[in-house]
Structure 1
Amino acid sequence: MATIRPFVALRPQEVYLDKMLSLKAPSCNGRGNGFIARMLDKGHSGDQGLTNANILANLKRMIRSGDFYQEEHPCIFIYEITQGNHVQTGVWAVTDLDDFDRGHIKTHESTADCNSSGLIDYRDEVGLEGGPLLITYRPNRAISSILNQIKKAEANSVYYADKIFHRIWTVYDLKTIRELSLYFSELQHVYLADGHHRLLAAAKYRNMDSKTILESGNFISSFYLSSDQLRIKESYRVIIPAGEIFLDQVFRTMKRIFSVTKSQRNEPVIPVQEREFGLFMDGKWYRMVYKMKDKAGLPDACLLQQTVFEPLFKIENPETDEQVISVGGGSALNEIQQILADNPAAIAFTLAVINADQLMDIAHQGIKLPPKSTWVEPKIPFGLLLRKL
């Protein structure tokens, strides 16, 4: 079940948007406020010491000067990303946070140790949402039919940056909005693909004192994409040990758990099967295959966390531990090789990529992967559609 509604979007002028599209999306762990401040200050650098008050002042000034304008009516948006031959088309609306409270939105990433205070303060003091949640659902013929019908008309807005087309169809028609809302409400479950910290912060903020929160605080900006269009890319880990590591002892311990073989010609190991991992240590690449009896059926990321990261490197939370660098996306291997070149003591682990069905099954079973275990696309650029609370 997904309870979606239209919203009044805050949108940048097209000339200004070109600059925003060319920059990477901010992190979602509460440290992206400086990025947002720069975006709300005509791209100026120097975000040291910026507070939420600075960000809010920037936003107000840019609205007054016309850099941002607000839609006249609540709308649902059809948003399409085209990169080469790959097209992703989904629905951008707001989601009722009650769906999360009632278990209708299934999540797959652990947020138990998440410090969401920065995001909560930002939501409270600035009153602005940037990037939407990325929510997926199993393919639905009725929803696809409506989207295809809407796309027969010319898109209201078309942007191009970094070899990617961004198209937006603005849906004002109340009948179409009602139909889309009905079909989404009939979905049995939907699955959060990206944005776990944002969702948790929004839910916490709404639950802090519901009497003083405006109705808009009960909803969160969301982009819904059918699972057959979701792209899940490589997501690897690099460990730069904080102290001295006895590599021989680490290697012997791992060989008790994994079958370990040297990579031919010392080429990087890119696993394609479950329970298979690549290891780079002391200048050499290895292929590791888990050889213990696996009664729990844990996903690879959980298995690696429980058998290697926590016992051997004392890493309890890969997101906050300064020893860990998470690298994801199509260029992950190149980034890892650069990190390894710059840090001779670094140790790298590569994992097989899971698919959308596996991701939804993990979420449905209630399994929580360690933070940053997946790299899910699209990464929606900041600034296309904003929402004021």
Structure 2
Amino acid sequence: MAKKIFFNVYAPFNGLVANHDFAGKIISPPYDVLSREEAKILAKDNPYSFLRISRAEIDFPDSVSASEKIVYERAAENFKKLINNRSIIEDEKAAFYIWKLQKDDHFQTGVISACSVLAYESGEVIRHEHTRPEKEDDRVKHLESLSAATGPTLLTYRRDPILSDLVTKLSLGIPIIDVHDIYKVRHTIWRICSENYVDELGLALNQIKKSYIADGHHRTAASYRLARDKKMTDGRFLAALFPSDQLLVLDYNRVVRDLNGLSSREFLSKLSTSFNVSVLETPAKPLLRGNFTLYMDGYWYSLSYRDKSRIKGEHPDNLDVSLLNYKVLEPLLGIENLRTNPRVEFIGGARGLEGLKSFVDENHWAAAFALYPTSVDELMNIADTGEIMPPKSTWFEPKLADGLISLPLDFTN
């Protein structure tokens, strides 16, 4: 009885873990950061690539939609192959897993657990974004086809010194996985399955009063929906908990297809009513809230919002992502629904200003906007109020990888 209460939110589980001999071939970027073509190129000549499971449409001609039934069936077939040939092995004992990510001089270390969907429903796990129904549907079908959650939800929490010290102590041994991904991020994973350490870590984790979804709203919502629809008594999703002071947040930028009938000169003129506009001889990311970098027609511009009073505080309307929406995208460009409008795309800050320029130039789009990043503290404080942030407000780096640890799902309980 004690353990049932003990692990009420964050529980150990029998992970489906990449065999260390194959982990370097299996490890793949998250399913939602690559285009279909990019995924196809990365998985070429690699039958172990987890992209053949997370993005199984790459096994088919482009005429086959990613949402067709045969795609989910292929994903399940490819997943089963990796399990059957023991490239992925289910642990015999329930465990927590410690996952350390290192990119250059940045380190972050978190704990992988099976998190209760009831905590998501009750608000102990707090969301800050709305989800898109079609993306939720896709993840539900993927979860159901595989009987496993293969993409971890990134959760964050305000640092707890006891938990931090314990994680440090438990990650001093020999890891079960130590590999680099295509972005040169080092992923090191330890299995914690000793009963005493499982109990100690479980107790510390379940002292966390609130955690926040930093990345993975659709995966989490899909797990909740599936558990509800299947009437599961103990529905869980795959969660990766990292303290907020270790997370690195980058800008999440916007590119627009056209200027809504305006010429470049007319667009700049309209921008100047709300912003101080100046040409940048050398492109540079914005260094303060209320500032943006614009790329258009081969030139770079600095935009500085005139009304500084509107960029103070932590209400969602005061964030730079909102400011760009209600001062530029909506009134000037007629882009009103960022979640569904095909005239806008989002590019994570890891691609830099050069990534924005390349996208605009190669796709013949009109303009790109680089934003000042939203902070983790802003995310948590806004979530605490129950407010919802605009879509694509935060981009976290480095990214957790797919394929190294998955959570088996039992639909019979």
1:26 aligns with 2:47: no
Distance 1:14 1:182, change over 3 A: closer
The residue that corresponds to 1:298 in the other structure is 318
Shift of 1:299: 0.8
Deviations 1:48-81 (A, max 9, x none): 4442122222222332232322110111011112
- Picking from 266, 277, 297, the partner of 1:260 is 277
Distance in structure 2 (CA, Å) of the matches to 1:291 and 1:243? 24
Q: 2:144 aligns with which of 109, 119, 124?
A: 124
- Looking at structure 2, the residues matched to 242 and 204 of structure 1 have their Cα atoms a distance apart, in angstroms, of 39
Matched-pair contact (CA < 8 Å) for 1:191–1:360:
yes
Identity among equivalent pairs (%) = 26
Separation in 2, partners of 1:197, 1:306: 25
Quote how far apart the aligned CAs of 1:214 are. 6.1
What is the CA-CA distance between 1:44 and the residue it aligns to? 11
The yes-or-no answer on 1:196 pairing with 2:217 is yes
Q: How does 1:109-120 map to 2 (within 5 A)?
A: 109-111=129-131, 115-120=135-140
TM-score (norm 1): 0.87
SS where residue 368 of structure 2 aligns?
Answer: strand
Are the structure 2 counterparts of residues 122 and 362 from structure 1 closer, same or farther at C-alpha, using a change threshold of 3 Å? same
Map 1:187-266 → 2, pairs under 5 A: 187-210=208-231, 213=232, 215=234, 218-241=235-258, 244-263=261-280, 265=281
Residue 29 of structure 2 aligns to a residue whose secondary structure is coil
- Residue identity matched to 1:25: P
Q: Secondary structure of the equivalent of 2:288?
A: coil
Change in 2 beyond 3 A, CA 1:87/1:71: same
Specify every segment of 5 or more residues in structure 2 that has no aligned partner in the other structure, as ranges.
1-6, 44-48, 65-69
User: Once the 2 structures are TM-superposed, how far is the Cα of residue 242 of structure 1 from its aligned partner?
Assistant: 8.3
The amino acid across from 2:191 in the alignment is T
Secondary structure at 2:154 match in 1: strand
For 2:88 and 2:378, locate their aligned partners in 1 and report how far apart those are by CA, in whole Å. 40
Q: Distance in 1 between matches of 2:365 and 2:164?
A: 50
Instruction: Using the TM superposition, give the Cα deviation of residue 2 of structure 1 relative to its aligned residue in structure 2, in angstroms.
Output: 8.2
Cα drift, residue 40 of structure 1: 4.5
| 1:286 and 2:301 correspond | yes
Distance between the aligned counterparts of 2:392 and 2:222, measured in 1?
17
Give the letter for the 2:15 counterpart. Answer: A
1:386 match: secondary structure: strand
Residues in 2 aligned to 1:219 and 1:356: alpha-carbon distance in whole angstroms: 25
What's the secondary structure of 2:203's corresponding residue? Answer: helix
Q: 1:251 to 1:360 in 2, by over 3 A?
A: same
Matched, 1:103 2:127: no
**Counterpart selection for 1:273 from 288, 292, 305:** 288
After superposition, give the CA deviation of every residue in 1:70-123 in whole Å (9 maximum; x if it has no partner). Answer: 110111011112233322111011111111111112223332666411111222
Cα distance in 1 for partners of 2:326, 2:379 equals: 19
Task: State whether residues 20 and 176 of structure 2, in contact with CA within 8 Å, keep that contact through their aligned partners in structure 1.
Answer: no
**Segment drifting more, 248-257 vs 273-282:** 248-257
| Residue pair 2:53, 2:74 contacting (<8 A) in 1 also | no
| 2:207 match | 186
Task: Map 1:47-66 to 2 at 5 A.
Answer: 47-48=60-61, 49=64, 50-66=70-86
> What code does the residue aligned with 1:51 have?
V
Aligned amino acid, residue 165 of structure 1:
R
